[in-house]
Structures are given as C-alpha cells and as structure tokens.
Amino acid sequence: MIAPNLTLDNQTILVTGAAGFIGANLARGLIETEKGVTVVGFDNVNDYYDVGIKESRLREIEKTAAAHPANRWIFIRGDLADAAAVDALFREYRPGVVVNLAAQAGVRYSIDHPDVYLSSNVIGFYNILEACRRYPVSHLVYASSSSVYGSNRKVPYSTDDKVDDPVSLYAATKKSNELFAHAYAKLYNIPSTGLRFFTVYGPAGRPDMAYFGFTDKLVRGEKIRIFNYGNCKRDFTYVDDVVEGIRRVTVRAPEKKNGEDGLPIPPVRLYNIGNSHPENLLDFVSILQEELIRAGVLPADYDFDSHKELVPMQPGDVPTTFADTTPLETDTGFRPHTPLRDGLRRFAEWYRAYYLK
C-alpha cells in the first residue's frame, strides 16, 4: 500500500461540481471528517437536470457546515469555461488540493448537444489546469469516466487497457482530460490523479441515470425502456464508496521525480472506481422494483410487466461495464463494496422522503 503523503487537515480544498451528485457528497464528507478544513465549492448550477435537487444538495452541505463550525464552507457560482472566474477563484483562495468533478455528464445527451461538452469538459478542464500551473497545488484529482473504455471487449476493464475507441463525444472529452493532465504533469510537474467512475448511484442522485429515470416513469405509470433487450451489464457503484475512494486517493499524490534528462517524469496515476460486480439490467430492475415497493413508493400490486419494454441498443451505449479495481485496493487498501440492494434501498427511501412526503 502507498503511504499517504498529504493531509487534508487545515487544507483549502477546491471541489468543482459541488452542487453535483458526487461533488456534494464529497464536500459534506470532507466537512464532517477533516479538521480545520476549508472547502471551496464551485458550480454553475445549470439546468441539465432539476435545479431543485442541486439546490437541495447545497442546503444539505450548509447544514453539515453549520454542525461543524471548526471547518469552513464557501460556495461560488461560476462556470469553468469562464477563464477569468477560475483564475480569480484560485488567486483568492489558493487551494492546496483540487478535486475537479465539474463536467457535462451523459452519454446520450452528448449526441445532440456536443457544444456543451466541449465548453465544460474540454475548455473548463483546460482552465483548471492553467490555474493549477499559475497557482501550484499539491494534488489535482479529476473525474474521468468508465466511458473511455468505449468498445473494448476485454473485461474487466483495466487502466492498462488501450482506450482509443470512444463511442460517444462524452467519452472522447473524458479521454482528452487524461491526455491534458498527463501533458501538464510532464510540462509543469503537477501531481494529477484521474478517476474512472463506473455508474454511480444513490440518494439525491442524477435524474438522468437509469435507476432514477425508471423510478420517475413507474411512479407516473409510464413504460420504462430496457436497452439491448436487457442484455446489458453495469458495474453499479454506490456514491459513498466513490467518495471514500476519492478521499483515499487524494491523500496519496503521485511523487515528483526527474528522469535521466533532468525533466519531470509525469507524476500521474489513473484508477477505476467501480463495484467490480456487474449486474444484469433485468436483475437490476427486479431489485429496484422490490425496493420501491418496500419503501412505499409503489403499491405492492404494481404491474411491472405491463410497464417494461425491451428495446435495441442505443447509440453511444456499450453492453458491459466492469471495473478492475486491483490498483485502487493495492495502493489505498480500499475497494467499493456496497451491495446493489443496499444502495437501491437507500435511494428508494430517499425518493419517498423527497418526492412523496
């Protein structure tokens, strides 16, 4: 295992995408567990999905901060594509650690709205790298995606695999982030770690994700569409496991070293963060419906068969995602482990409390 070489205590930590699903959970976790920490959240709070959920997450962070007065929470509304705003943020707060989770998410959305992905995922990430160059940081941790594996047929997916066959623009932008980070690490010795997340889910998640969208449709009595006729597998990863993975990685910055030419050997790492247990979509739907009934979101006699439709694969989708998390476990001593039923149970209970109160 790699020993931690950073402490988060008394650090100023920038979390971009702080109103997002993973970002909000990370911000709360840092405020709850670290000592003397200042968490600076940055997010444009766009309307890609229900802004009410994003505002609710921010309120939960504020409650957490109020309960931990020794730590500070600062939130700034801004857009990563605004270079001046990003520079001003770094200039004022001088973060020691940056966790860049801000991005335009969604595979299918990228097919019809490519410009949004270039603005947020490419230009925005470039602005973060430039700021890290001008105002040096101890560690840049950034979100990549399992989507970079594209049409790879070898499973489980390993960070040693080639990822040159993206099947969506979203995947291509995430691969570009990894390449940009590598180049800046080489040129400017910025310790950087990329994290390839696998189908993150949980309470107060993204409404565009399957488990959330399915629930919305079932509550409204609409049909849910199960792609590839149900012959897909996804490595569903509970959000608390993702947050713990981020924290374990963040305190282990890649070491700076020079090569024989006297120039920096890029201080970079890549990890998969996934549950390493792909679930068949039909099994996933069965567990979801059972937990929705248990939580009282749906009635016990709900006719699921009449509300399911098996349809062909959609453009940009892949049949299987499956994370090899051996390097994560070897280096940090942690691997995601939350069973799907446990995670969906917590989601169903949150859904009832949030929407059906």
Cis peptide before 156 (omega within 30 of 0): yes
Q: Are 201 and 211 in contact (CB under 8 A)?
A: yes
> What's the Cα-to-Cα distance from 97 to each of 9, 34, 123, 256, 290, rounded to whole Å?
11, 13, 20, 16, 41
**CA dist., res. 343 & res. 78, Å (int):** 32
Cite the active site residues. Answer: 170
By the 8 A CB rule, do 241 and 249 touch?
no
Name the nearest CA neighbour of 287 among 240, 340, 235, 213.
340
**Cβ pair 77, 45 in contact under 8 A:** yes
**Backbone φ and ψ of 276, nearest 5°:** 60, 35
Residue among 288, 267, 318, 17 nearest 147 (CA): 318
User: Cα–Cα distances in Å, from 262 out to 182, 183, 185, 187, 259?
Assistant: 18, 16, 15, 12, 5
